[in-house]
Structure 1
């Protein structure tokens, strides 16, 4: 069972001051790394802490940081901002076999506010996953392969959308960040690999070889 994170101690004023300082710096902020307490707290629900211009500027900056990293998602706590906001986009080219095995298709850019998700059906998929806040590491995470996401868009409109395949993985990963959950909390720890070992040994479309050699998910069907 996952540990339930404590709510952020940041006040509304402190959240806004933090955002204003980051926006005023004129440079890309660093991505907060594991060990920083903001990654282990429940981010504050967004309820107008920022004005519309600040929110738009923050979303634009988060997208720029995500691209620069590079990554396919970024949550506000990864910039030290304990606010329930994340950006997602996956436009990376992958080979046809990997795309098919991982059910990975392009995800157009969008931002989510106060997101929650729930599984649709009982299907699951297990693949290696990384995080911009745990640089240099990857591990296998088994997740629902289809989820329903409820969120508010930057215009304040409540939305609901289903995601499947790799898109569902991105949605879950970023939404988890806002609850103080890192992918490593859900991971098969025997699969943990640094990037060098992953690239040399386990960078296959599926996890079959890693599962056999590293001894995790022994009863899991081959993927």
Structure 2
């Protein structure tokens, strides 16, 4: 059963200048350990991040991407956007190699996603099909909610080497792409979520941790046709 996706209201442009962005990145790279992930309520998560246009040296960009990958792995998560580390820049990293139940993998169309970084991404839906599943966020620890997203998307982005790229994604990979791109526009998954489905991790595990959402949809009363 397909459900409509909820529109996203873009946030205001970041007030950071190019110099301020570079300073913030240099401070982050100078930390001894991994930086903390910014949590909901911080203004950077609600701002439209600055397009990447060479604010960083190539070495700084490469180091930032590697640091973001380390933070994503440590969290652990399947994606991380620069604003989640307090950097209002159109940059995100994605990777999904988690082992999950084969039945859940099939229902959610979840297949491995090799690591890659995206700059200045934008996506368009391919067709009208949608998928609705529970989704969480590293910037809103401890909660999950059902989000309806496009099942298939076409992503346009810039690689770290400056070259333009595009690719099509389906299923869970498309969900990751949409989630991380939304972050760069000041969006959180809650903006698109069915709020009656919202559950903390303990209650989700106790009641709604199924491959699909039918039990939660009927038990909590959301997404009724």
Name the TM-score, length of structure 2 as normaliser: 0.96
1:156 to 152, 162, 165: 162
The whole-number CA distance in structure 2 between the counterparts of 1:24 and 1:217 is 46
**Residue 48 of structure 1 pairs with residue 54 of structure 2:** yes
Deviation at 1:3, TM superposition (A): 2.6
The whole-number CA distance in structure 2 between the counterparts of 1:120 and 1:2 is 18
After TM superposition, list the pairs within 5 Å mapping 1:20-59 onto structure 2: 20-59=26-65
Deviation at 1:203, TM superposition (A): 0.6
**Residue 94 of structure 1 pairs with residue 100 of structure 2:** yes
Q: Please give the per-residue CA displacement for 1:23-58, whole angstroms capped at 9, x wherever unaligned.
A: 011210000000000000000000000000000000
Q: Please give the per-residue CA displacement for 1:127-149, whole angstroms capped at 9, x wherever unaligned.
A: 00000000000000000000000
After TM superposition, list the pairs within 5 Å mapping 1:204-223 onto structure 2: 204-219=210-225
Give the number of the structure with larger relative contact order, counting CA–CA contacts within 8 Å between residues 6 or more apart.
2
Gaps of 5+ in 1: none
Alignment-derived partner of residue 128 in structure 1: 134
After TM superposition, list the pairs within 5 Å mapping 1:194-205 onto structure 2: 194-205=200-211
**Residue 64 of structure 1 pairs with residue 70 of structure 2:** yes
The whole-number CA distance in structure 2 between the counterparts of 1:25 and 1:217 is 45
What SS does the aligned partner of 1:200 have? helix
**Residue 142 of structure 1 pairs with residue 148 of structure 2:** yes
**Residue 16 of structure 1 pairs with residue 29 of structure 2:** no
What SS does the aligned partner of 2:116 have? strand
Gaps of 5+ in 2: 1-6
The whole-number CA distance in structure 2 between the counterparts of 1:163 and 1:2 is 20
The whole-number CA distance in structure 1 between the counterparts of 2:151 and 2:94 is 17
Q: Please give the per-residue CA displacement for 1:143-180, whole angstroms capped at 9, x wherever unaligned.
A: 00000000001111100100000000000000000000
Alignment-derived partner of residue 196 in structure 2: 190
The RMSD of aligned alpha carbons is 0.6
What SS does the aligned partner of 1:193 have? strand
Q: Please give the per-residue CA displacement for 1:45-97, whole angstroms capped at 9, x wherever unaligned.
A: 00000000000000000000000000000000000000000000000001110
Alignment-derived partner of residue 84 in structure 2: 78
* Count of residues in correspondence between the two structures: 219
Name the TM-score, length of structure 1 as normaliser: 0.97
Deviation at 1:214, TM superposition (A): 0.3
